[in-house]
Amino acid sequence: MNATGALPTPKEPERETWQLLMQLGLDLRTRRKSSIISAECGIDDAYDFQDLLGKGGFGKVFQAVSKKDGQPCAIKCVDMKNTDPEVFQRELEQARKLQNPHLVRLIAAYQDERTFFLVMELYQGGDLLTEVTQHGLRREGSGLAVGIPEQCLVEYAWQMFSAVAYLHYHFIAHRDIKCENFMKASLAANAPLKLIDLGVSACFKGGLTEVVGTITTIAPEVFSRRYNEQCDLWSVGVTLFMCAVCMEPWVTDGGVRYMNESEIKRCLVDPGFQIPYDRRRWDLRSTEIRTLVRSLLVRDPQKRPRAQEVLSQNRWVKGCRKPRCCRWF
């Protein structure tokens, strides 16, 4: 944004993408760095740490409360011994810029002698995987149903592609999109999704070479060490697959056993492997969601639609340009 508050005019060849996304109602602006508090120390003076929300190889995430205004937040504590400082700085720099209603919002950043701290919005509705597990194969009325109901799912799809289109416009590939990294903003039934965890995100200008991500949602081309932002569209495809039929695509032995990590990797690097679609479950879903998922889960990344193309051209998603979840913003 310039001094007058207007959006900057994009440079060619970005103009066409900019115009398309603006027509879709997406705000493409980024925040100024000055809007993020950054300090070498003093986090205990600013926040009261409360419950532990989760932990992993990177460190821990706590619920906390601001001492200034009593607002709840989440604080990601990254042990310097367990992370590359450059990786942390990359996540920080990416998160500083972003201001999209379906992306995690960074509030502040601190560090002391041993730990990096990222203070973020607290999303209390749980992750999308929890919601998926509540919609298994079930009887509804006189028939069967499976997965997240259609109207809710199309709204989630719109929000997913909105977040990814925003990132890709700013040359950022997320590289770890999965159900666990979509959080519901609140416990309300129509709460919007927020894409979190930019820890392995990267600028894709010039191409990407690192093998990073989660094995169940990683794109096949990542293992070739020559790929681009279209890896995120495969990951969205797997995420929507799980939302639609409440199962991963990685099944074997006639659909009775999930593959282990080494089996999944063998399938991903095998050019002849085809994603299995359990007919009993997929026949319960609409043609629109089946067609969209199949278009995303193709091995050739050049044949996958881009996020902005899905938003502007896919009739199922396009019909949800103003989902009720998004009207909060």
Pair of tokens at residue 111: 């560090």
3-state secondary structure of 185: coil
Helix (H) or strand (E) holding 62: strand 59-66
* Interacting residues of 167 by C-beta distance below 8 A, sequence separation 6+: 98, 103, 173, 174, 201, 229, 232
By the 10 Å C-beta count (0-12 exposed, 13-18 middle, 19+ buried), 137 is classed as: middle
| Cβ neighbours, 10 Å, residue 192 | 26
Give the C-alpha separation, 228 to 226, whole Å.
7
Is there a contact between 292 and 240 (Cβ–Cβ < 8 Å)? yes
Exposure pattern of 270-280 as b/e (b: 16+ CB <10 Å)? eeeeeeebeee
On whether 322 is known to bind a ligand per the annotation, the reply is: no
Pair of tokens at residue 183: 């959080």
Q: Which residue has the tokens 């998160």?
A: 95
| Cβ neighbours, 10 Å, residue 84 | 9
Is there a contact between 299 and 274 (Cβ–Cβ < 8 Å)? no
Peptide bond into 323 cis (omega under 30): no
User: Which parts are annotated binding residues?
Assistant: 76
User: Which parts are annotated binding residues for ATP?
Assistant: 76
